């Protein structure tokens, strides 16, 4: 399959001054998926048939490389056997060049790429940031061996934070728990430019934009996940902030407006 790489410049004017004060976002394509509609929660048969007549849905696994305030940040790392490292190479970066990885949560398609085929750190010079609640859930409560092994490869370089924290210059963590107990989104600001990196606030935009109350089976708390989606989407619509989502159709960007009880792209 042909791999994709797109650069989206989120600035008012493409110039040296706007570049320095703006946000440069590179979408990294990891994998496609084609689940069936049985994973949808809160959608009846008629609704499923309306949006997916053949019963199949198309999904992406994406990550984002963002340059903000002179720092390059990798948001999520894709699957353990995915293509994020290859996509970075296309952008002129070796895995060893990545110094900062911010994780939205600890599902396999978001942290798995932290380790290589030998189970070692795929990004040997990176610090990994994860919310305290997310780490506690998967490491202390669930004792997930895969999560534990991955984080162990970054011993001494795993940083925890709380929602509301300024994780680094221009990047604030937002509580969007529900999909997982410590799921976070990130609000990026640089000058007049803003971007929301929303992780798994949405999986299947074809149905979850017009029907935001629809959840998925891998939401740990579906009702809370729906609340988080509506809260952040309402905020993005009001402030006209673009969003980068890890399962949004390539290149993973959403610009939304309200449409009745749901949302639509503009």
Domains of the chain: 5-265 (3.60.15.10)
How far from 202 is each of 10, 210, 222, 227, CA to CA, in Å?
A: 21, 12, 12, 12
Cβ neighbourhood burial of 157 (10 Å; 0-12, 13-18, 19+) = middle
Q: CA-to-CA distance for 3 and 7, rounded, in angstroms?
A: 14
- Encode the chain (266 residues) as per-residue pLDDT tens digits: 333 333 333 332 222 222 334 899 999 999 999 999 999 999 999 999 999 999 889 999 999 999 999 999 999 999 999 999 999 999 999 999 999 999 999 999 999 999 999 999 999 999 999 999 999 999 999 999 999 999 999 999 999 999 999 999 999 999 999 999 999 999 999 999 999 999 999 999 999 999 999 999 999 999 999 999 999 999 999 999 999 999 999 999 999 999 999 999 99
Summarize the chain as % helix, strand, coil (round to 5). Answer: 25, 35, 40
Per the CB < 8 A criterion, the answer to whether 68 and 188 are in contact is yes
Per the CB < 8 A criterion, the answer to whether 167 and 131 are in contact is no
Q: Return the structure tokens found at 12.
A: 């008012």
Q: Is 195 helix (H, G, I), strand (E, B) or coil?
A: strand
Q: Is 47 helix (H, G, I), strand (E, B) or coil?
A: helix
Number of residues written out for the chain: 266
Write down the pLDDT at residue 16: 21
The DSSP H or E segment spanning 84 is helix 84-90
Residue 53: phi and psi, rounded to 5, are: -60, -30
Per the CB < 8 A criterion, the answer to whether 103 and 73 are in contact is no
Count helices and strands in the chain by DSSP H and E runs:
8, 17
Identify any residues that bridge with 72 across adjacent strands, giving them in sequence order.
67
Do strands 184-190 and 171-175 pair parallel, antiparallel, or not at all (unpaired)?
antiparallel
């Amino acid at each position: 399959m042909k791999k994709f790489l797109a650069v989206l410049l989120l600035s008012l004017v493409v110039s040296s001054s706007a570049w320095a004060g703006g946000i440069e976002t590179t979408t990294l394509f990891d994998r496609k998926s084609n689940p069936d509609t049985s994973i949808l929660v809160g959608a009846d048969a008629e609704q499923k048939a309306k949006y997916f007549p053949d019963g199949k849905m198309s999904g992406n696994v994406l990550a984002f490389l963002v340059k903000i305030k002179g720092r390059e940040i990798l948001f999520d790392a894709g699957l353990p056997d995915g293509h994020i490292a290859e996509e970075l190479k296309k952008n002129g970066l070796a895995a060893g060049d990545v110094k900062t990885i911010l994780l939205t949560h600890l599902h396999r398609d978001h942290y798995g790429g932290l380790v290589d085929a030998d189970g070692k750190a795929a990004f040997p010079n990176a610090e990994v940031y994860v919310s305290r609640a997310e780490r506690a859930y998967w490491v202390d409560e669930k004792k997930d061996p895969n999560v534990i092994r991955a984080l162990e490869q970054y011993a001494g370089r795993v940083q925890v934070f709380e929602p509301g924290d300024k994780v680094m210059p221009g990047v604030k963590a937002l509580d969007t728990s529900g999909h997982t107990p410590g799921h976070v989104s990130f609000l990026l600001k640089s000058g007049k430019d803003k971007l929301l990196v929303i992780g798994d606030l949405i999986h299947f935009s074809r149905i979850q934009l017009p029907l935001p109350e629809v959840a998925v089976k891998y939401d740990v708390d579906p009702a809370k996940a729906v609340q988080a989606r509506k809260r952040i989407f309402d905020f993005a619509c009001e402030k006209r902030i673009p969003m980068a989502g890890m399962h949004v159709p390539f290149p993973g960007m959403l610009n939304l407006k309200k449409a009745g009880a749901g949302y639509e792209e503009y």
